[in-house]
Amino acid sequence: MTANLSELYAAMMDQPRLTPLAGANALGANAYLLEAHGLRVLLDAGSVRDRPAKWARLAGDLDAAFVSHVHGDHIGALSALLYSNPTLRPVASPESVALAPYALAGRFAALRRANPRQLARDAAASLRAVAPGSPFELARRGDVSITATLSRCGHVLGACSVLLDISAPESFHRIFYLPDFCLHDQPVTPGADLPDADPERPIDLLLMEGVLGADADADAVSHGPARAALVESLRHDRPRLLALSAIGQAPELASALSAAGIPCLVHELARPVFDVYAASGADLSLVTFADLAACSRALDEGDLVIATDEHLSKGSPSHTLAGARTDLDLVVLNAQRSPNARTRRVLLPDHAARSQLREAARALAPRRVALVHGAARTLKLLARALARDGHDVVVPSNLQSITL
């Protein structure tokens, strides 16, 4: 009996498992640990907090890591991770690697670190660019290997999902991590490219975001027409200021404006991001970059200006430019609340709303779905909808392991 129990225990310990270190039942830092036959792989390295993240210690010694995209809640704690894993080379798409120095510099600057650009360049230099679509060996120990395949997943330029094939002498498991994604095309970034379900090798576990899983307004948005209506509404000659996020909103909307023949001035802080988008084929032909003084003069003349950040945080270009102007058509996208009473809020989500989340789960046909990265209530409601669709759904807590 004792022998049987210890065998059972050994078998359980050998069973691959996935543990959210951060990101379960919450928005904010994303960090999910996959343990399989002694291999340890971290999916995303996010934190938006100042303190060294607790999860970075829990991650321990890693064999490999994957960064899905360069938003702060997915890449923000890269330095903390490298501190405990100095030889780690986290994998990311080529566009994410190109955007990482900018994304991390913004974070270090917000934390008031000295020389944020150098710190950001050092951390970003650890990333290893891997092109989507081709399987590669992510980690190996003896006769156990984890093969990874990245696929573009919409959301922002460079964002990727990852398919993980865990091969051991007597077992095979497949995990699909679908982080922030959307199925609809944006002006520059195409919608997610989901792998075909393979009946021979089904996905054992789909680990999926659920940020907008219960947002009926987001689900009702018809993306093409909504974007076209926004662009048309900006064809007037009062001063117009778009307060947008640099990675995603600003270059996507600037590209839609260029395509519609509407020129715009962009505050120069966002230029490095626009350069990466342009290198990826974005049409930014009617974009001109300018410093704060030139942007301000342009607004005086009734022009259209794009500036970061989307929250109009004190001291940001958007906040400074909005100033005390009362004649301004001030627009933000996807804000929960208006930064001020004069702001026009437009809904143009770059996350999957409920119908897209259901569509993705249906297409991938996993044995089990684990929902993360969303408010607890949102994930609960989404889980109910997916269960009605016939899925086996779990909403784990942080540090609660899901055994495959």
Tell me the residue length of the chain.
404
Residue 180 vs 303, nearer CB to Zn ion: 180
User: Quick one: DSSP state of residue 269?
Assistant: G
9: left (phi over 0), alpha (psi -120 to 50) or beta: alpha
Which position among 40, 71, 184, 227 is part of the footprint of Zn ion (CB under 5 A)? 71
Residue 303 vs 350, nearer CB to Zn ion: 350
Residue 39 vs 153, nearer CB to Zn ion: 153
User: Residue 59 in 3-state DSSP?
Assistant: helix
- How many residues at the interface with Zn ion, by CB under 5 A? 2
Q: From the CB of 179, what's the least distance to Zn ion, in Å?
A: 7
Is residue 68 within 8 A of residue 78, CB to CB? The reply is no
Q: From the CB of 68, what's the least distance to Zn ion, in Å?
A: 8
Greatest distance between any 2 Cα atoms in the chain: 84
Q: What are the residue ranges of helices labelled H in 241-391?
A: 249-259, 271-279, 292-300, 317-322, 354-364, 376-388
37 contacts Zn ion (rule: CB under 5 A): no
Residue 76 vs 366, nearer CB to Zn ion: 76
Q: From the CB of 115, what's the least distance to Zn ion, in Å?
A: 26
Q: From the CB of 73, what's the least distance to Zn ion, in Å?
A: 7
Residue 37 vs 184, nearer CB to Zn ion: 184
Residue 110 vs 286, nearer CB to Zn ion: 110
Binding to Zn ion, residues 174-193 (CB under 5 A): 180
* 17 DSSP β-pair partners: 35, 403
Checking DSSP bridges between strand 171-178 and strand 39-43, what pairing results, if any? unpaired
Q: Select the residue whose beta carbon is closest to Zn ion and give its number.
A: 71
> Distance between the two ends of the chain, CA-based, in angstroms?
25
Where on the chain is the footprint of Zn ion (CB under 5 A)?
71, 180
